[in-house]
């Protein structure tokens, strides 16, 4: 019952996102053929608008789009004459997925390590250095960090390639740019949660029983400290996804984010809607999976039809 309720909520949420994106997109002045209006005869512009149903009233356009959407047809791209939106997303999915998953793994792993170390050495040198690094990481956005990485690590020191895609070396710099901010946030979050857990009575009881420090930390401390962190994975994943829009453009990565940015400048309505729907689906599914994972980390958490 809980699963069915969540699936229904996911569908309604996706419909709201599609509707809002459609309305906002069409409320912006101009159209995809505005730049070509002076170069093309008026009759050709009318035919092109008719081809993409842009000459229809907005309610009709909206109904036609929903009809195609339920058939998993995201429509043709206005700017690309040879590929539709489904093809563009399929082509860009590989680089975007690799970059997103890699950045998420790096952020979670090193964020947890940094947070645990800071908690274990509370108010000591390692704690201060870890939190200083976290503050710096949070303060520098990915679109500022990316050009700095290109300038020093790629152009001046020539450690990594840039403006191309193909090998694992091409993923290093964009992964760093995307993961530093979330990594720093996780580190601070884990440190706070870990300090709270270490002061609990069951931790003191485990230590009194003579359990080793590593056993206490891994079996009782870190595991329980990660429960509130899990709830942050959804927004964290969203921040990485939205960060790929600009980072993929900066590093010239042929991913979905680059297509999304290009479609905004070109007013390619089907690509804007298609990529928005795709990213929304990923985020909604991620939040759903995270809810189900709560029970795996802490069996005391029960999932019921009431959501408790």
- What are the pLDDT tens digits along the chain (308 aa)? 777 888 888 899 999 999 999 998 888 776 677 655 456 677 877 888 888 888 888 899 999 999 999 998 998 888 887 889 999 999 888 888 888 889 989 998 999 899 888 988 888 998 999 889 989 988 988 889 999 999 999 999 989 988 778 888 999 999 999 999 889 988 998 898 888 887 877 777 777 777 776 677 777 677 777 777 777 777 777 777 777 888 888 898 888 888 888 888 888 888 989 998 988 888 888 878 877 776 665 555 555 444 44
Gyration radius from the chain CA atoms: 24
For the record, the structure tokens of 126 come out as: 């390692």
pLDDT of residue 303: 52
pLDDT of residue 184: 92
Residue 84 DSSP class: B
| Sequence-ordered list of residues with C-beta below 8 angstroms from that of 43, at least 6 positions apart, any chain | none
pLDDT of residue 16: 94
Q: 227, 294 in Cβ contact below 8 A?
A: yes
pLDDT of residue 308: 44
Rounded Cα gap, residues 64 and 56, in angstroms: 10
């Amino acid at each position: 019952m809980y699963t069915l309720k969540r699936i229904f909520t996911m569908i309604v949420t996706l419909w709201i996102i599609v509707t809002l994106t459609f309305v906002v997109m069409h409320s912006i002045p101009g159209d995809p053929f505005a730049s070509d209006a002076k170069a093309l005869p008026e009759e050709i512009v009318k035919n092109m608008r008719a081809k993409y149903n842009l000459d229809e009233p907005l309610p009709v356009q909206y109904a036609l789009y929903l009809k195609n959407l339920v058939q998993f047809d995201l429509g043709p791209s206005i700017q690309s004459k040879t590929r539709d939106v489904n093809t563009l997303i399929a082509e860009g999915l590989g680089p975007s997925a690799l970059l997103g998953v890699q950045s998420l793994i790096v952020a979670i792993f090193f964020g947890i390590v940094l947070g645990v170390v800071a908690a274990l050495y509370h108010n000591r040198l390692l704690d201060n250095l870890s939190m200083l690094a976290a503050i710096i990481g949070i303060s520098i956005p990915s679109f500022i960090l990316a050009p700095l990485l290109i300038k020093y690590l790629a152009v001046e020191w020539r450690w990594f390639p840039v403006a191309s895609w193909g090998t694992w070396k091409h993923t290093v710099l964009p992964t760093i740019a995307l993961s530093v901010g979330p990594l720093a946030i996780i580190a601070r979050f884990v440190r706070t949660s870990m300090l709270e857990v270490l002061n609990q009575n069951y931790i003191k009881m485990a230590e009194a029983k003579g359990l080793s420090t590593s056993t206490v930390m891994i079996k009782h401390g870190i595991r329980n400290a990660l429960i509130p962190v899990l709830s942050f994975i959804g927004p964290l994943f969203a921040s990485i996804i939205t960060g790929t829009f600009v980072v993929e453009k900066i590093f010239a990565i042929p991913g979905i984010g680059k297509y999304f940015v290009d479609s905004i400048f070109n007013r390619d309505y089907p690509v804007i809607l298609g990529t928005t729907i795709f990213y929304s689906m990923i985020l909604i599914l991620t939040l759903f999976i995270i809810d189900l994972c709560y029970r795996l980390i802490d069996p005391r958490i029960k999932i019921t039809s009431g959501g408790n």
